[in-house]
Structure 1
């Protein structure tokens, strides 16, 4: 198989050791997952993220539109296709084309895309965020709190869940808008169809955080128009069995 392959790994000694062994055996390039990525212009046919879900998110940000084969190296990874310890078995399945591609919904703001979430959050610790949420240009809420999260089904098990949002099965096409510690308790997370256009207007200074990375800070009133992306994350799967519920059980 003549493919350009990259192993993109979480920087721990044990994972790096396993990643280097794997790279040698399958003739792959290797790159550590760091905040400032030294990404070359080489085009890859396959990215193998090794680590947790955060590593997969970073790989998707760095290499969009390239299929991923995530290998988990922790306790619970919602995006992993297999465990790192089973990599030889799943690699043989990949070589035999015994897999399918799961397409995961992404959302976009301007030129940025998110697999998990877009978070409009307060800029300073002692500050309160004030903003408005519009759906299809109709005002839904004016909110005061720590921020507003717009998450995909993939992201519904991440920061949105910690902020009180519901879990959305990734087989369901939907988005969730989750206020973060709102001043008024009647503001609740809202699940909406992905076709709805979302606009968040910040009335105070704020940070734009996409998949856990601070993208920009804004001092003045700013409009953030968020919508479903036309691009999907491509995750290699070896079974059509949905294991979301089994993984949720392991969170206890």
Structure 2
């Protein structure tokens, strides 16, 4: 299952039933789990740890050195979970400093020309559309969708089940369950269709989420006051608590 035309360093750890096609490059200090497929001209560089069932398409580069002026050649890691699709020309950098990691979770779909910079953490079941760029130290929680050519600035966080529409530039945190679009980026409602289809969320909870965001985005309150009013006026659920906690934890503010 390993082409003689591929280069696989003797020190690399390759699992069972792994396919490595011609002209792929597998560096030393690399681990590739069972049932992965590595297509031609892929580079898997030192420090990459990959789980099971991943499919990596042509010309992707995994574990690239960080494009960070603080990087001094330290040994760091890129950790990739299971069953991810990493399409053509994707570049994922490992972390900047020794002992740190860039982390990609499970069952994510990274489309053509996605660039994921150092120390990013991506959860499970996320989609990054064609040409999207995720700067260093960003966090994407589970089930996030980035449409094509989205740019996340450094340290941005995106809450679960949020959708950022094509071409948007994000410099603050995107709270959970919302649709964000435009430049400057703004709130365009609750991501109800996707959540109903994939998350089986009830109409009642969706109404509560919409009411919470009505207080944040249309209530003419400060964020601090809006969160207090949510606690007082909106029935509490896991989803409402997630919104409150995410917004209160934001260090650089949310997109408003």
Q: TM-score, normalised by structure 2?
A: 0.28
Bigger relative CO (Cα 8 Å, ≥ 6 apart): 1
Higher strand share: 1
Q: TM-score, normalised by structure 1?
A: 0.29
